[in-house]
């Protein structure tokens, strides 16, 4: 009987859903549009998106014209923030020699140009238009492009990051493209590049920033968490460990 | 998004100040979950900051449908290396 009881307890513990808080001290910034308590509105636009990491890195925009719109049922019946090509949250100073950024975004305009849902110092995570091969990229002095194309109006999970061995960018849980260039963060901006150009056209549902390049195990847990939360598990490749069930603790 | 376009910075600043006044800024943010004001959080201070474009004119986002669509040539060109 004792053995059976312990077995049930283990089963119960293992069914707890994984979320970015499980990344512990690695978690540097966590913006979650589903958590309406973390969103401050100015009418129908968002003046502040509060950080859930515990680090107090809230992002804000004091200019009404540059605030993203709050869309209550934007993705999988959950809220998202809509950026119209002239919206962004002001820069946060944040120095990270190694990092990763994961986000759920949907590009809603395709031109010849390149747009940045997340900027950091020089460069950022970009969505490229026709002049840029429709690729996602992690940009710094040089760029590393994704294998997969950006698809207009298709919700997408994008992961990019760097450590002292090089960079990675992965789309929808597929194997990352890599190179041996190292890159760091000096600031972070949501909705445009940090120097104020190339504002994003589209929606952002969630952003998770870490102070290291996540291991494959943690990257896949984060991809699984984002996919199941935002109704995008069909986007994951068949070989993904969280294709059929969301990650648990 | 449409923009209002001006020949000089002074013209743009004056026009933006009027839009800021008309839009009721400064505005205290409201918590999306509780619907209650959050004066200790974000305050929307003004409508926009006029920005100089490549040809020397000044622009800011239009609060309505009056203005012109932004031209990609307004902004510095991005190159992917």
* Sequential DSSP letters for chain A: -HHHHHHHHHHHHHTSBP-GGGGGGGEEEEEETT-GGGEEEETTEEEEE---SSS---EE--BGGGPPEEEEEEETTEEEEEEESS--EEEEEEEESSEEEEEEEEE----SSEEEEEE-SS-EEEEE-GGGTTEEEEESSSEEEEEEEP-TT--EEEEEEEETTEEEEEETTPPPEEES----EEEEEESS-TTS-S--EEEEEEEEEESSPPPHHHHHHHHHHHHHHTT-GGGS-TTSTTSSS--B-
Residue written as token pair 């390049």: A213
Question: A61-80 pLDDT, tens per residue?
Answer: 999 999 999 999 999 999 99
CB contact under 8 A, B33 and A36: yes
Q: Which residue of A has its CA nearest to B62?
A: A65
Residue B76: what pLDDT? Answer: 75
Q: Cβ-count burial of B54 within 10 angstroms (0-12 exposed, 13-18 middle, 19+ buried)?
A: exposed
Instruction: Please indicate, yes or no, whether the overall pTM of this predicted structure exceeds 0.80.
Output: yes
Domain boundaries, chain B: 2-65
CB contact under 8 A, B80 and A143: yes
Residue A122: what pLDDT? Answer: 77
Q: CB neighbours (10 Å) of residue B18?
A: 10
Average pLDDT (B37-62) is 93
Asked if A166 reaches chain B (Cβ–Cβ under 8 Å), the answer is: no
Could you say which of B1, B30, B42 has the minimum Cβ distance to residue A84? B1
Contacts B73 to A, Cβ<8 Å? none
CB contact under 8 A, B47 and A63: yes
Q: What Rg value do the Cα atoms of chain B yield, rounded?
A: 16
CB contact under 8 A, A132 and B34: no
Q: How far is B36 from chain A (nearest CA, A)?
A: 10
Distances (CA, A) of B38 to A30, A239, B32: 21, 46, 10
Residue B80: what pLDDT? Answer: 55
Contacts (Cβ under 8 Å, ≥6 apart) of A78: A33, A34, A205, A229, A230
Q: How far is A159 from chain B (nearest CA, A)?
A: 19
CB contact under 8 A, A40 and B42: yes
**Of residues A134, A126, A138, A68, the one with CA closest to residue B42:** A68
Q: Which residue of A has its CA nearest to B30?
A: A41
Q: Which residue of A has its CA nearest to B45?
A: A62
Half-sphere exposure at residue A165, Cβ-oriented, CA atoms within 13 angstroms:
6
Residue A2: what pLDDT? Answer: 43
Residue A111: what pLDDT? Answer: 73
**Of residues A199, A203, A206, the one with CA closest to residue A87:** A199
pLDDT band at B79 (very low <50, low <70, confident <90, very high): low
Could you say which of A37, A65, A142 has the minimum Cβ distance to residue B33? A37
- pLDDT < 50 positions in chain A: 1-6
Q: How far is B12 from chain A (nearest CA, A)?
A: 14
Q: How far is B13 from chain A (nearest CA, A)?
A: 14
Asked if A195 reaches chain B (Cβ–Cβ under 8 Å), the answer is: no
CB contact under 8 A, A40 and B44: no
Q: Which residue of B has its CA nearest to A35?
A: B33
Q: How far is A232 from chain B (nearest CA, A)?
A: 25
Residue A12: what pLDDT? Answer: 53
**Which segment of A5-9, B1-5, B8-12 scores lowest on mean pLDDT?**
A5-9
Question: A118-156 pLDDT, tens per residue?
Answer: 999 878 999 988 878 899 999 988 999 999 999 999 999
- Complex ipTM: 0.87
Which DSSP letter does residue B61 get? E
Q: What is the mean pLDDT of chain B?
A: 91
Q: Is the pLDDT of residue B46 over 90?
A: yes
CB contact under 8 A, A39 and B33: yes
């Amino acid at each position: 009987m004792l053995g059976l009881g312990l077995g049930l307890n283990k089963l119960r513990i293992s069914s707890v859903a994984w979320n970015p808080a499980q990344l512990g001290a690695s978690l540097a910034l966590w913006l979650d549009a589903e958590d309406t308590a973390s969103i401050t509105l100015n009418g129908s636009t968002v003046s502040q998106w509060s950080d859930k990491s515990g680090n107090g890195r809230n992002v804000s925009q004091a200019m009404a014209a540059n605030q993203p719109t709050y869309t209550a049922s934007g993705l999988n019946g959950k809220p998202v923030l809509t950026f119209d090509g002239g919206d962004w949250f002001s820069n946060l100073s944040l120095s990270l020699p190694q990092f990763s950024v994961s986000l759920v975004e949907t590009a809603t305009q395709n031109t010849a140009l390149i747009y940045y849902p997340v900027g950091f110092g020089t460069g950022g995570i970009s969505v490229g238009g026709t002049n840029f091969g429709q690729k996602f990229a992690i940009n710094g002095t040089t760029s590393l492009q994704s294998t997969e194309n950006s698809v207009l109006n298709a919700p997408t999970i994008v992961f990019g990051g760097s450590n002292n061995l090089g960079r990675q960018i992965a789309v929808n849980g597929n194997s990352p493209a890599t190179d041996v260039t190292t890159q760091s963060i000096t600031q972070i901006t949501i909705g445009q590049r940090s120097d104020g150009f190339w504002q994003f056209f589209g929606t952002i549902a969630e952003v998770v920033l870490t102070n290291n390049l996540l291991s494959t195990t943690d990257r896949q847990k984060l991809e699984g968490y984002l996919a199941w939360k935002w109704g995008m598990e069909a986007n994951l490749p068949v070989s993904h460990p969280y294709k059929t069930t969301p990650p648990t603790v | 998004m449409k923009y209002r376009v001006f020949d000089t910075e002074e013209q743009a600043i004056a026009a933006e100040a009027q839009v800021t006044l008309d839009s009721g800024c400064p505005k205290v943010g409201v918590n999306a979950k509780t619907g209650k004001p959050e004066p200790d959080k974000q305050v929307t201070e003004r409508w926009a900051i006029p920005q100089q474009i490549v040809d020397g004119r000044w622009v800011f986002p239009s609060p309505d449908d009056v203005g012109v669509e932004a031209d990609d040539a307004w902004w510095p060109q991005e190159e992917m290396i």
